[in-house]
C-alpha cells in the first residue's frame, strides 16, 4: 500500500531534550516536506526536500533541522525543543514537487508536546 | 506571494442539506488550487484540485469546486451533506513550488 508513515504518532518531552520524528514513504517520491499545524493557522511548511541531499527552508524553519540521505526517509530533528514547538506535525511527499500535476500525500501526523 | 483565505472557521449544516465552504485566494500568476479534508486524528486527504483545465472540478465523495478567476474564489460545495462529511477542510493555493494553506473550516453535520 502506498503510504507515508511517521513515528512516533504521539510524543511528550521536556524542554531541551533532543528528539527526532521519522518520516518514510514507499512511493519513490522525489519531493518531501514537513509541516506544522496550529489552530487557526492551517499548515505551515517547515522544510522541504526536492531530492536526496537537497533541502530548503520553508516558512517556519527556526528550531528545526532535516536531512535527506535516502530518497524514502526525511527525518525532522529538534535539537533543543521548546514549548512553542508544541504542535501537530505532518510529513508529506509528492512525485516531483508542487507542480500542478503533482499530488501531495500526507502522513498521519505526530502530535508533539514540549513541557 | 500567494495566499488563501477561508471565510468561515466553522460551518454547521443538517444532514441532507447542501454544503458550501468558501475560499478566496490571491495569486500573481495562474495558481493551482486544492481542497484537502482532515478527519479527526487523521492525515490530510486530497478532495480535488484545479490545474487550469475545466473551471468546475469534481472530487471524491460528491464534492465539487468552481474556479472563478474574476472573483478569485474556489468555493467547495456538495449537494447533500452526510454525517461522514464532518471534518476539517483546507483550501490550498500553489504556484512556483510554493504551497499555502488556509486556516481551515470545520464542518459539523447535524442529524
Q: pLDDT (tens digit, 0 to 9) for every residue of chain B, 111 residues total?
A: 788 999 999 999 999 999 999 999 998 777 889 999 999 878 889 999 988 778 899 999 999 999 998 999 999 999 999 999 999 999 999 877 778 899 999 999 999
What pLDDT score does B40 carry?
A: 85
Residue B21 forms contact with A (CB below 8 Å): no
What's the CA gap between A78 and A85, in Å, rounded? 9
**Cβ contacts (< 8 Å) between A42 and chain B: which residues?**
90, 101-104
Tell me what pLDDT residue A7 has: 96
A101 touches A1 (CB < 8 A): no
Burial A80-91 (b: 16+ CB within 10 A, else e): ebeeebbbbbbb
- Which of B51, B93, B97 would you mutate first to test chain A, the one with the most A CBs within 10 A? B97
d(CA B99, CA B25): 12
Residue A100 pLDDT: 61
Q: What phi and psi, each to the nearest 5 degrees, are found at residue B65?
A: -145, 150
Q: Touching check for B23 and chain A: CB below 8 Å?
A: no
pLDDT digits (tens, 9 = 90+) for A80-102: 999 999 999 999 999 877 666 67
What is the pLDDT at residue B66? 94
Contacts of B92 (CB under 8 A, 6+ apart): B4, B33, B34, B35, B36, B99, B100, B101, B102
Q: Beta partners for B95? A: B98
pLDDT at residue A97, as a whole number: 73
Q: Which residues of A touch B (CB under 8 A)?
A: 4, 35, 40-45, 90, 92, 97-101, 103-104, 106-109
Instruction: Determine the pLDDT at residue B81.
Output: 97
Q: Which cell numbers in the block locate residue A6?
A: 511517521
Task: Provide the pLDDT for residue A36.
Answer: 96
Amino acid at each position: 500500500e502506498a503510504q507515508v508513515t511517521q513515528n512516533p504518532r504521539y510524543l511528550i518531552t521536556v524542554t531541551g531534550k533532543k528528539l527526532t520524528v521519522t518520516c518514510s514513504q514507499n512511493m519513490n517520491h522525489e519531493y518531501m516536506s514537513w509541516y506544522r499545524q496550529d489552530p487557526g493557522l492551517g499548515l505551515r511548511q517547515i522544510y522541504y526536500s526536492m531530492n536526496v541531499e537537497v533541502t530548503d527552508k520553508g516558512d517556519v524553519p527556526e528550531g528545526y533541522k532535516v536531512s535527506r540521505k535516502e530518497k524514502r526517509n526525511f527525518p525532522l530533528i529538534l535539537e533543543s525543543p521548546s514549548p512553542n514547538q508544541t504542535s501537530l506535525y505532518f510529513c508529506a511527499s509528492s512525485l516531483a514537487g508542487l507542480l500542478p500535476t503533482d499530488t501531495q500525500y500526507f502522513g498521519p501526523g505526530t502530535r508533539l508536546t514540549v513541557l | 506571494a500567494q495566499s488563501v483565505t477561508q471565510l468561515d472557521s466553522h460551518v454547521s449544516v443538517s444532514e441532507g442539506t447542501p454544503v458550501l465552504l468558501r475560499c478566496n485566494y490571491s495569486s500573481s500568476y495562474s495558481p493551482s488550487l486544492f481542497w484537502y479534508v482532515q478527519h479527526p486524528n487523521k492525515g490530510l486527504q486530497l478532495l480535488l484540485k484545479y490545474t487550469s483545465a475545466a473551471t468546475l472540478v469534481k472530487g471524491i465523495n460528491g464534492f465539487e469546486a468552481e474556479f472563478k478567476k474574476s472573483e478569485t474564489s474556489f468555493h467547495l460545495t456538495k449537494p447533500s451533506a452526510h454525517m461522514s462529511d464532518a471534518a476539517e477542510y483546507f483550501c490550498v493555493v500553489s504556484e512556483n513550488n510554493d504551497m499555502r494553506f488556509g486556516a481551515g473550516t470545520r464542518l459539523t453535520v447535524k442529524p
